[in-house]
């Protein structure tokens, strides 16, 4: 008779995933839509800033829909999404009064300066929303996957295919790169500080390893390996960046142009070279079946082959996202940048797969198709948030609907970018703490109950309380700072 740990491991193993379209609906469509719906509701509701009612509204509109669409409403995502779009649009254009926290525009600014500042604010707000929703979705998934309420098709696939949880790690890397020093073209951190960050990630990874082993928590070895975890992947990325970022410094003349695009060049070289090694030099067989083809994990490298080798794919994704960040923080055509980084990777992936030139998408290997898919997906989600902020800006200014002539009831409009909701700003600013707390809470829940045998009603109550606690922690830390 199987032990409970073995039953848990079987519960999350050998899964085949779902379609990229369903994943797109419950993330790239749902998440910006939640942000849109919140702004739409504020046009009809007078909610005071910085009180418990504002936080409750944000939790219900921004976090709870993600929880529901990942679990009990997963089979109705497309139909409910269409209804939500219609409802949010109707409320939004009905007008009303919105209290914003954006500073008033000064009359001395030129139209060009005001437009540039507004565009930059929209980009910053969009990235903040993206980072927050990545963490909300990750938190729901890492505990939800242990309950039957979470569809098995949303869990991580075994080798080839796409599951909703396969998006999580890639989007975490993607969102982290967008706000990195390299993306903002800021002076690189000192070598000492870089190694301190690396040491902290290694300590976190070691702590995760020890707690997992001592708590006898289920281990899906084909995900990262026997000892590896996501913190070690982040540590590997840090090492790669310490080695390569000095080459990305901005020079003069032609050197400046080459240096600006060096992250994209690095992403292409690493991604293609890694894919050649996977398909032409036996790395795919090694990851799947080890050195001798028997699947053994007899040494440190073979025991953690997935985590070690997939770091190359994540590094390629990180570099590509850094390039997107540079374009967004530098070029005036933000929407064009997002469109290019969203459409071109998907077209490239479609063409390569149609020609039979590459293997299917694999999060386990973080192969080139996975990198292209994640780059497309992350850019599409970010594009969605950017459209939301631009759409809000085009129709509402300082809480007032804007007429076709560009004026409000109070007179000529000063277009102000709406700031991200408090909850999203709090989670984005405390991303690492939120993620750590989610991991600790997941472990605590699994130690206190047999999750895979819990009824759906119990599962939903536990998940709702768990998310409320995590969101409250982020908001409390944000207000304290």
pLDDT value of position 100: 39
pLDDT value of position 213: 78
Phi, psi of 40 (to 5 degrees): -65, -45
Burial classification of residue 325, based on how many CB atoms lie within 10 Å of its CB (0-12 exposed, 13-18 middle, 19 or more buried): buried
pLDDT value of position 257: 59
Distance CA 310, CA 306 (A): 6
81 touches 469 (CB < 8 A) = no
pLDDT value of position 47: 60
Q: How far is CA 96 from CA 54, 311, 394, 408, in A?
A: 17, 49, 15, 12
Number of residues that make up the chain? 481
Residues 454, 456, 459: CA angle, nearest 5 degrees: 65
pLDDT value of position 49: 63
- CA neighbor of 143 nearest in space, from 455, 446, 447: 446
Rg (CA), the chain: 23
pLDDT value of position 246: 77
pLDDT value of position 46: 62
Q: What is the mean pLDDT of each run of 10 residues along the chain (481 residues)?
A: 76 87 88 85 68 86 94 81 64 48 44 57 90 95 94 92 92 94 79 85 91 75 89 93 78 61 94 95 91 83 93 97 93 86 94 91 95 96 89 57 46 54 93 92 90 93 96 92 76
pLDDT value of position 220: 77
Find all residues with CB under 8 Å of 323, minimum gap 6, and list them.
261, 263, 264, 267
Burial classification of residue 254, based on how many CB atoms lie within 10 Å of its CB (0-12 exposed, 13-18 middle, 19 or more buried): exposed
pLDDT value of position 143: 94
397 touches 346 (CB < 8 A) = no
pLDDT value of position 48: 59
pTM of the model: 0.88
pLDDT value of position 98: 40
Kindly tell me the sign of the dihedral angle through the C-alpha atoms of 181, 185, 191, 192.
negative
Retrieve residue 372's tokens: 């292209």
- Listed as own residue / partner, the contacts of 82-86 with beta carbons closer than 8 Å and 24 or more positions apart are 84/33, 84/37, 85/33
pLDDT value of position 84: 60
pLDDT value of position 325: 94
């Amino acid at each position: 008779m199987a032990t409970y740990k073995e039953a848990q491991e079987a519960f999350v193993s050998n899964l085949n995933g779902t379609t990229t379209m369903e994943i797109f609906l419950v993330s790239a469509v749902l998440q910006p839509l939640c942000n849109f719906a919140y702004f739409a509701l504020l046009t009809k509701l007078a909610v005071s800033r910085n009180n418990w009612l504002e936080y409750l509204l944000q939790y219900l509109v921004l976090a709870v829909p993600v929880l529901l669409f990942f679990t009990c409403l997963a089979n109705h995502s497309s139909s409910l999404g269409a209804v939500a779009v219609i409802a949010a649009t109707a409320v939004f254009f009905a007008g009303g009064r919105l209290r914003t926290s954006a500073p008033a525009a000064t009359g001395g600014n030129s139209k060009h300066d005001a437009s540039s500042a507004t565009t930059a604010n929209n980009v910053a707000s969009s990235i903040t929303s993206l980072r927050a929703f990545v963490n909300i979705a990750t938190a729901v998934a890492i505990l939800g996957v242990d309950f039957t309420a979470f569809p098995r098709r949303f869990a991580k696939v075994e080798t080839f295919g796409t599951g909703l949880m396969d998006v999580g790690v890639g989007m975490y890397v993607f969102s982290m790169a967008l706000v990195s020093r390299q993306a903002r073209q800021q002076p690189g951190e000192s070598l000492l500080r870089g190694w301190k960050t690396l040491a902290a990630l290694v300590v976190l990874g070691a702590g995760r390893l020890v707690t997992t082993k001592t708590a006898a928590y289920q281990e899906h070895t084909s995900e990262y390996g026997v000892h590896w975890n996501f913190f070690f992947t982040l540590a590997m990325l840090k090492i790669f960046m310490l080695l390569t970022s000095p080459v990305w410094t901005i020079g003069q003349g032609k050197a400046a142009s080459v240096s600006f695009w060096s992250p994209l060049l690095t992403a292409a070289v690493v991604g293609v070279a890694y894919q050649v090694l996977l398909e032409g030099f036996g790395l795919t067989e090694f990851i799947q079946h080890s050195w001798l083809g028997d699947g053994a994990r007899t040494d440190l490298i073979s025991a953690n082959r997935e985590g070690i080798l997939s770091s190359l794919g994540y590094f390629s994704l990180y570099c590509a996202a850094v390039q997107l960040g540079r374009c967004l923080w530098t070029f005036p055509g933000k929407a064009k940048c997002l469109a290019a980084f969203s459409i071109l990777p998907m077209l490239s992936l479609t063409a390569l797969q149609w020609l039979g030139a590459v293997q299917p998408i694999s999060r386990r290997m973080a192969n080139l198709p996975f990198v292209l898919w994640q780059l497309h997906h992350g850019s599409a989600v970010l594009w969605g948030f950017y459209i939301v902020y631009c759409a809000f800006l085009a129709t509402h200014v300082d809480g007032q609907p804007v007429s076709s002539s560009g004026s409000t009831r109070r007179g000529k409009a000063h277009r102000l970018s709406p700031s991200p909701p408090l909850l999203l700003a709090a989670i984005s600013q405390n991303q690492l703490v939120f993620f750590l707390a989610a991991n600790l809470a997941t472990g605590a829940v699994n130690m206190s109950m047999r999750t895979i045998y819990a009824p759906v009603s119990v599962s939903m109550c536990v998940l709702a309380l768990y998310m409320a606690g995590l969101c409250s922690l982020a908001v409390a830390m944000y207000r304290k700072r």
